[in-house]
Each structure stands twice: as C-alpha cells, then as structure tokens.
Amino acid sequence: MQDVPDTHLGRLQRASAAAAGAGLDALLVTPGADLRYLVGYDAKPLERLTCLLLPARGEPVLLVPRLEQAAAEASGAAQVVKVLTHEETDDAYALSAGLLRDALQGDPAVVAVADRMWAEQVLRFRAQLPNAKQVTAGQVLRPLRLRKQPDEVDALRRAGRAIDSVHERMGEWLRPGRTEREVARDIADAITSAGHATVNFTIVASGPNGASPHHDASDRVIERGDPVVVDIGGSMLDGYCSDCTRTYVAGGAVDPEFSRYYAVLLEAQKRACDAVRPGVTAESVDSAARDVIAAGGYGEHFIHRTGHGIGLEEHEDPYIVSGNDVVLEPGMCFSIEPGIYLAGRHGARIEDIVAVTDDGGERLDTISRELVVLD
C-alpha cells in the first residue's frame, strides 16, 4: 500500500485499503476511539445512530442524527468525509444499508463492525444486511493505531508532562488525617487545571487498600506511615491519555518490609523500561520486570500484567504480558507498571508511559521513581 500522510484523510485511505486487503467490503464505525482516530469526531454514544460507513471501494459517509450535525461539522469531520443526517422518524439502519449498497454497487458480503459497537446496533445492522457476514473491525484498525506517528507521540508526551505536574504537587493534599476520597477530589481538580479535558481515574489507595490494584478511593482515613498508591490519569483536549502511578508514604517511619520490596519493585520497573527497544517482544518486557520481582521473593505478589498500550484509549494494544509475542516497533506506546501487593497490609506500584524509539525507549513520564516520604 502506498504511503499516505498521517492526516484524517490519510487514515481513512489506509483503513479503506486495509479493509480491502483483508477481504472486507466495509467498516461500520460507531462512536469511540476508532471514530475519533479516523475522522477527528469525539461523538456522543447515543441511542440515535452515529456511524461512519467506510467502504473498501467508494466514498465514505458519516451518518449522524440531525441534532448532532453541528457538532460533527465543528469537529472537522466534514473536511474529510461527507456528513449526512437522519431524522427522528428515519430508520437509520435501513438508510445506512442503502448507502452501503450504493457505494459498493451491490450487497456487501462481509462487513466489519466496530469492536465496541453496542449489541443492539450489531443486531439491527444484521437485520438490514442479512446476507453479510459480520466480523470485528479491530483486525484492520488495531494495526493502524498500534504504531503511533510522531504527532501522536508528542501528544502523549504532553499528556505525560501534565500528569507529572500533578504528582509533583502531591504533598499539598496527601497527608494523615484526610480521607482517600478527599485527596482524590483535590487531585481531580488539579488534573483538569493541568490541561486535561477529562479526569479518567483517581486511585488513592492507602495502607491495606494499596494491596488492591484497582481500589479507587474510599472514606478510609490516611494514617501516619501509610504507604499510598496514587494512580491517576485523564484525557487531554486532543483525546490522548495520561496514566502515571507513584507510591508515597504519608509521613512517619517507613515499614522496613515495605522499604525492602519497594527497592525490588523500583529495580524491576527500571529493568523493564531499559528492555524496551525495537525487535524485542512485548512478553520479554514483561519478563524483565517479573524476573526481578520473582528473584526478590515477591513473585506471587505481582498479580497483573506489566503494562498496556495507550493512546486515544487508556487501555489498548500492545499489552505487555506473558504470551504476547508481538514484536515492538518504533512508535508503539505503553505503560510499564509492575506492582507488589501484600494482602491486608499494603502495596506499591510504579508506572511510566514509554514510547519505543528507533533504538530504544523513551519514558514519557519523567518525574522521579524513588519513594517519596511526605512530611
């Protein structure tokens, strides 16, 4: 396939060519990261159908409800694709099927629906295109999104700087006597103040709650000497996500065992970051972290994968996990976040977003990974 620029028009052309190469007649892309990637439209997921009809041959069409026309056009989508509307009384699925048949000059044999299309929508498309086999669109869209272009890496770099600036202020909020929920509210305000459009998550897990990787935040009062896992992230105005975890101690003496396994965790996270380079597999990066933790005697307490891809979604390919033999290439971006969790006591996690470069890896979160004891 001939190279085309990384504009939304170029992405549409690549997706159309990839669909044809995979033997698909069309992609049906509803609101979500794939739609935003292809045409720049961060559409609301409504009961009214919004769908990009992208045929392998012929012109694509973005079909939106009439009341969403202004939003679709304001997004810039109309500059790269024809925007058509449907009325409240229209059957949008029948209209979509007709538009596809017109573009293809006949019935499609295979259509690919967005991976996260609602089941109701999948079934209604099936009813309108009864002779078309349905498959998932991820088989052609995931490879396009997997390797970020330089402007996308720049976007993730900006997101990393923004979330790092929030971690740098943690001493303003995280202290004994406050609840996790109170600290999380302050962090959320700081995330938006740092330039994020939305707050995606604010995990504040103190003491024994730190042993639950997805604890979130509760009314538990933070005690002096508590280790506190703080995992935070959001989406910037351009849609690209941040995600960074640091572990703090809320003043006082540090538990000696916690200090021991934090040192093991820090070495594991550094080894995994150092292992990133083109040509190695995703699972080898997982092993780089996991082997250190196992050798330190805490292997059974590392209970999740080492990382996940990131971009327009918080979690996307590639996944840094045992069994994933995907070979890393420049432009792939993902988290490296090993953790050690002692049930009923405490836990720790260190997370950076890393981009694969031409000859190694670049940490997009650059704040210190050393344990911070807050006064």
Whether 8-145 shares its CATH topology with 150-373 is answered no
CB atoms within 10 A of CB 141: 25
Q: How sure is the predictor about 375, in pLDDT bands with cuts at 50, 70 and 90?
A: confident
The mean pLDDT value of the chain amounts to: 97
Summarised one tens digit per residue, pLDDT across range 250-305 is: 998 999 999 999 999 999 999 999 999 999 999 999 999 999 999 999 999 999 99
Confidence label for 6 from pLDDT (cuts 50, 70 and 90): confident
| DSSP state, residue 322 | T
Q: Which of the 8 DSSP states describes residue 318?
A: E
Please give the order of strands across the beta sheet that includes 307-309: 316-320, 307-309, 333-336, 352-356, 361-363
Q: What is the pLDDT of residue 87?
A: 97
Q: What is the largest CA-CA distance in the chain?
A: 74
Reported confidence tier of residue 1, pLDDT bands at 50, 70, 90: very low
Please check whether residue 374 is in contact with residue 249, taking contact to mean a CB–CB distance below 8 angstroms.
Answer: yes
Q: Which two tokens stand for residue 167?
A: 């971690």
Q: Are 58 and 45 in contact (CB under 8 A)?
A: no
Q: What is the pLDDT of residues 322-347, one digit of tens each?
A: 999 999 999 999 999 999 999 999 99
One-letter amino acid at 302 equals F
23 CB-side CA count, 13 A: 5
Q: Please compute, for residue 232, the number of CA atoms within 13 A of its CA located in the half-sphere on the CB side.
A: 35
Task: Label residue 3 by pLDDT band (50, 70, 90).
Answer: low
pLDDT at 252: 87
pLDDT at 72: 97
- At the topology level, CATH places domain 8-145 in Creatine Amidinohydrolase; Chain A, domain 1 (3.40.350)
Query: pLDDT over 70 for what percent of the chain?
Result: 99
CATH class of segment(s) 150-373:
alpha beta
Q: Do residues 204 and 347 touch, judged by C-beta distance below 8 A?
A: no
Give dist(CA 179, CA 304) in Å, integer. 27
pLDDT tens column, 54-104: 999 999 999 999 999 999 999 999 999 999 999 999 999 999 999 999 999
Q: Where are the domains of the chain?
A: 8-145, 150-373
pLDDT one-digit tens code per residue, 100-112: 999 999 999 999 9
Provide the 10 A C-beta neighbour count for residue 312: 21
CA angle, 247 then 203 then 333, to 5°: 80
Question: How many whole angstroms separate alpha carbon 184 and alpha carbon 217?
Answer: 7
| Residue 82 and residue 60 in contact, taking contact as beta carbons nearer than 8 Å | yes
